[in-house]
Amino acid sequence: MSFEIHSRDLSARIGQVTTKNGVFETPTLLPVINPNVQLISPKEMMDEFGCEALITNAYIIKKTFEEEAVEKGLHDFLGFPKSVMTDSGAYQLLIYGKEVQLSNEEMIRYQEKIGSDIATILDVPTGWRVTRQYAEFTVNETFKRAKELAKIKSRSDIAWVGPVQGGSYLDLVAESAKKMRKLPFQIHALGSPTPVMEQYLFSTLVDMIVTAKLNLPSERPLHLFGAGHPFMFALAVALGCDLFDSAAYAIFAREGRYMTETGTARLNELEYLPCPCPICSRTSPEGLLAAGRMERQRLLARHNLYVCFAEIKRVKQAITEGRLWEHLAIRARAHPSLYSAAKQLSKYSRFFEENNPVTKSSGIFFFDSLDLSRPEVVHYKERLTERYAPPKTAKALLLLPQTKTKPYHKSWEHQEALRKVQHELGNKLSKILHACTYAAPFGVVPDELDEVYPLSQHETASPLDRETVDHVANQVSDYIARNREHYRKVVLVENTEAWGKEITSACKRVCKKFSIPLLTVGQE
């Protein structure tokens, strides 16, 4: 197997996975195929949905169709000639425990016999709400089984998945990832996320994914087991997940649940079908309810799968445009738990900043304080602090409020304000002024940096929320304090309509602390 990365945004990447039976693009959704119950056949997924890869359960196939699948080969058995990933039965082991009688060696050899493209060792899932002792056991036992792979396998044309365990014990997730990275797996997977997602514990999921990513090789794709609903795809992709599997499209259909990109609805509660897919454009809620049970399930499953694939395409388009953060922020407002998870991203600002492209082909949008954590803002703050020094000729700091026109220093408001300040201070002092703009979300923007991306390539919503105003005020205060040996005077042009008294108060506090003269000028 090979994995080539073509485009990045945040920690997401559009890449290409090549297996012995095909090529597919990441991020990708692998629909789960249950060989016993198929509301949508693999061939239909390929022909109707353009599906390039799917996942099925080798344990279920072995239990029910053992010899048939071996004789035909996995791809002929499913009627799907492209890439097929197999799970090993670990989920059944998690649910049914000792009732599942199988061994790691048995499942490795069986997946080789049927010819999986991507196969999974029989790991031991940590699960949810387990003791630390048991979680440690799952990490150690999974690693033990992972090491067995090299001695058991006989084929070199199958890509193997090395699962990471540990559950909600993040130190164990890190330990598991560090152990698994030492072994020659082509793909890694985060184990035990399903209970977390079912309970909408998306903040915990953020911690688990980032902890795994920080300790796994970046060149290997990461698979997220059981990422069922499209409303969280953007979050998972932004965190660096490349592959997902989901049976939710079929499970929800059997329950009469209708997927949208922002949630689910009960079919019997809908007045309209708010979707342009081929299913919804030809019928109505009443039409679906009037259909027979199996036909209704098949139609709902098709709609649900259309929604899933459409969201993956939206995420990919956002990556190519450099707008995944904006897309993620929109999706995060679909549910309070998702929004809480989006806020959680501020803990990992360095993780995103290190992976995010420094420049992009498009500008960025700033809406509210959630966006203070986006990598571009963090990157600028760090670079201004660590690498910037004011011009040597500048002895007085002039702080001007942001304008709608960019770059700021070319706006008529700044030209007028500068003339007013020069008139009040006289030519002698005005010649040593260093003009900077205080602006959301970046804080202090020196004129000489004004046209550097993304300082002039962004749009900010107004009025600003309190957290954003406080953030900029703190950045102004920190900038003055950091350069207190450089500036002999600070001149502030106020804009109380947009900023209230926060910027003025911040300047007064820091100037008083370091005995720097402060002159405030009202903006007309």
For residue 1 the two structure tokens come to 């197997």
DSSP summary character for residue 488:
S
Q: Pairing state of beta strands 2-9 and 83-87?
A: unpaired
Minimal CA–CA distance to 159: which of 93, 227, 220? Answer: 220
- E-strand ranges in 81-239 read 83-87, 118-120, 159-164, 187-190, 222-224
Minimal CA–CA distance to 339: which of 377, 367, 379, 305? Answer: 367
> How many angstroms separate the CA atoms of 512 and 492, rounded?
14
Catalytic residue from among 87, 123, 242, 447: 87
> How many angstroms separate the CA atoms of 145 and 164, rounded?
12
> How many angstroms separate the CA atoms of 232 and 205, rounded?
11
318 to 228, 322, 328, 380: CA distances (angstroms)? 20, 6, 9, 22
> How many angstroms separate the CA atoms of 457 and 475, rounded?
20
Minimal CA–CA distance to 56: which of 71, 27, 26, 77? Answer: 77
For the question of residue 87 being annotated catalytic, the response is yes
- Backbone φ and ψ of 121, nearest 5°: -65, 160
**Residue 90, helix vs strand vs coil:** helix
> How many angstroms separate the CA atoms of 237 and 232, rounded?
9
232 to 13, 67, 346, 446: CA distances (angstroms)? 16, 38, 18, 38
Q: Which residues are 22's β-sheet partners?
A: 19
Catalytic center residues: 87
